[in-house]
Amino acid sequence: MSESQKIIEIEVLRYNPESDKEPHREVYKVPFSDDMSVLQGAQYIKDNFDGSLTFRWSCRMAICGSCGMMINGIPKLSCETFLRDYYPNRISIEAMAHFPIEKDLVVDLSGFIEKLESIQPYIIPREARTLEQGEYIQSPAQFNEYIQFTSCINCTLCYAACPQFGLNPDFIGPAAMALLHRYNMDSRDGGAEQRMQLVTSEEGVFNCSAVGYCSEVCPKHVDPGNAVNINKINAAKDYFLRFLSPKGGSK
């Protein structure tokens, strides 16, 4: 290490369910270089100060969506957030807001996984086709209808940003609703009616108060807030027009 080695203070919200009653903060002095991400800062702490520090990560390049955390109170992917942007101030890292903490920076995502399953995140064919009939043809215009909503990496930063999810954990939430919208908008898919029950339900889109922070923090520019609000209109149409064209849905 050179004489001019810069050192940044990283304050970490620690929680060990086996010994701690509640989370507490610990500060580590981490030497860093300009190319080091916050994730690398956490790795430095784990390698040099406390091997029990627990956090999720994998790809280090904003693709896998594992390393989300609250960085100075803002939901961010720690792999694409750099220590140099915070130096010389202290930087605080915490587990993502609104989720139960499993250990240190790791949150329990089982509720989110259930929501992902509940939206039926797969193509429900509009029409059954045999192999002889060939593939489902889709035009570039039809492709453009949904491609934006396929970029979600399930990092759940939008849930950590959503004040309504914070108040009501049953809310289906931004990412799941964006993925639901992705399948509904796919010209090959015919499952919109099946998914409508969820959209219109008490756990559905009307929990959203159009804050828009979900779209702001989204690292992949999915704009989940837009998906939720388009589906408010779809849900309202379904609510009022269901008497004209009776179909399956919520009771």
Partner 1 sequence: MSTMKVRKRSNAPIFWGLFGAGGMLAALFGPMLVFITGIAVPLALLLPADTMSYPKMLAFAQNFIGKAFIFAIIALFMWHAAHRIYHSLHEIGIHAGMFAKLLCYGSALVCTVISAVVLLGLGF
CA distances from residue 240 to 18, 91, 230 in whole angstroms, order as listed: 52, 50, 16
Residue 16 CB neighbours (<10 A): 13
Please report whether residue 167 would count as binding partner 1 according to CB under 8 A: yes
**Of 73, 35, 81, 74, nearest in space to 57 by CA:** 81
| One residue of 54, 72, 150, 250 binding partner 1 per CB under 8 A | 250
> Nearer Cβ to partner 1, position 85 or 202?
202
What letter would DSSP give residue 222? -
Minimum Å gap between C-beta 171 and partner 1 is 11
Amino acid code (one letter) for 225: G
Site string for partner 1, 24-63 (x = CB under 8 A): ----------------------------------------
What is the number of alpha carbons within 13 Å of residue 3 lying toward its C-beta?
A: 0
Measure the CA–CA gap between 133 and 144, rounded to whole angstroms.
24
Residues that contact partner 1, how many (by CB under 8 A): 22
Q: How far is the CB of 100 from partner 1 (least distance, A)?
A: 20
Amino acid letter for position 156? T
- Of residues 33, 30, 8, the one with CA closest to residue 86: 8
Other Cβ atoms within 10 Å of 232 Cβ, number: 16
Half-sphere exposure of 96 (CA within 13 A, CB side): 29
Task: List the one residue from 65, 68, 204, 219 that touches partner 1 (CB under 8 A).
Answer: 204
Q: Min. distance of Cβ 196 from partner 1 in angstroms?
A: 10
Scanning 11-19, 70-78, 144-152, 198-206 for contacts with partner 1 by CB under 8 A, the matching segment is: 198-206
* Selected binder of partner 1 within 50, 102, 203, 216 (CB under 8 A): 203
Instruction: Name which position in 206, 215, 224, 231 contacts partner 1 (CB under 8 A).
Output: 206
The CB-of-207 to partner 1 minimum distance in angstroms stands at 9
Return residues touching partner 1 (CB under 8 A): 118, 120, 163, 167, 194, 197-198, 200-204, 206, 209, 232, 235-236, 239-240, 249-251
